[in-house]
Amino acid sequence: MTGVDKLKVLVVDDSALVRQVMVSILESDPQIEVVGSAPDPFVAAKRMESVIPDVITLDIEMPRMDGLTFLRKIMSQHPIPVVICSTLAGKGTDNWIKAMEYGAVDVILKPKIGTKTFFEESRIRVCDAVKAAARSKLREKPLQTINVQPSLTADAVIDKASRPTTLETTERVVLVGASTGGTEALRIFLEAFPRDCPAIAIVQHMPEMFTAAFAQRLNSICRITVKEAVDNDTMLRGQALIAPGNKHMLLKRSGARYFVEVRDGPLVRRHRPSVDVLFRSAARYAGKNGMAIIMTGMGDDGAQGMKEMHDAGAITVAQDEATSVVYGMPGEAVKLGGVDKSLPLQAIAAEVMRRCS
């Protein structure tokens, strides 16, 4: 890939050490070029006079102008995909909500100096977030296909069952996977449900701790109950469980009771939590009583798991390309032949109620 083809990224952070680490991480990917770094939004604006980046990584707490104010200015004057690089300190969760409302494509944790494994996982997440942002529909022209590095499958967390568990219940459970653009998609999806909707389990690619704030926000605006899942939570009608960031979530069954298991494990399809892990567990323990929804997001997490659910007799639905911010995960699921129907985002909740009544 030539330099012209590379994604141009501007790094904005008041910490010289963080800027150094971010530049090192981003330039380790041959498909990314850091075209500049800046300690605050004023310097960043000056840098952008000479080169317009494809993506900006932006800190929140900075001198002279905070990142959220700069984000609002960018989106109102010259929209560019922005990935917020935040920490969990202070009002981090409130800042995440505001950042998504103001137009950020994604929010990731700042890389920290730690073990080799921790640094490698940070590198994967940062580079993937930047690539996903570049492919989001803020862009006016499509990017060429971006190759990703090999990733672990759901085999790393749960074995594939030769056949689904024999079921004695007819209670439907709904499993949902989403990534880039998913926070808004899930809001629209969940707000449409009545109080007696089927039990729902959700994997949204999101940093740890932010999932609790996300669940609380949805719970405050939806008719159903929305909460961050904890290990052994029962799947209940009128309730949606969201996998906690940095943990895998699996569907399990004991008699007629469905519940979730929350556990550690390696990155699967470059993510933790992984949609593939949730879907594979549902193929095993729910079979034909499951319904899988795959929403907007870059990459292929969830595609293989959805095919396994489809083969086990579950109903499978993908968000269509027109309403997806990034048509990666739904598109890959369609290619694998695991999707029964593709629908606009606004029609998916009604389809769930129709099929699960």
How many Å apart are CA 15 and CA 278, to the nearest integer?
38
Inter-residue contact 286 to 251 (CB < 8 Å) = yes
Annotated catalytic residue within 205, 248, 271, 310: 205
How many Å apart are CA 318 and CA 260, to the nearest integer?
23
H/E element holding 285? helix 275-285
Burial 297-319 (b: 16+ CB within 10 A, else e): bbbbbbbbbbbbbbebebbbbbb
Annotated catalytic residue within 13, 128, 301, 320: 301
Identify which of 73, 74, 108 has the alpha carbon closest to the alpha carbon of residue 92: 108
Percentages helix, strand, coil for the chain (3-state, rounded to 5) are: 35, 20, 40
Three-state DSSP state, 53: coil
301 is catalytic: yes
28 is catalytic: no
How many Å apart are CA 151 and CA 93, to the nearest integer?
29
Amino acid occupying residue 68 = L
Amino acid occupying residue 72 = R
Inter-residue contact 314 to 164 (CB < 8 Å) = no
Query: Which residues 6+ apart lie within 8 Å of 132 measured at CB?
Result: 105, 106, 179, 180, 297, 298, 299, 326, 328
264 is catalytic: no
Catalytically active residues are 179, 205, 301
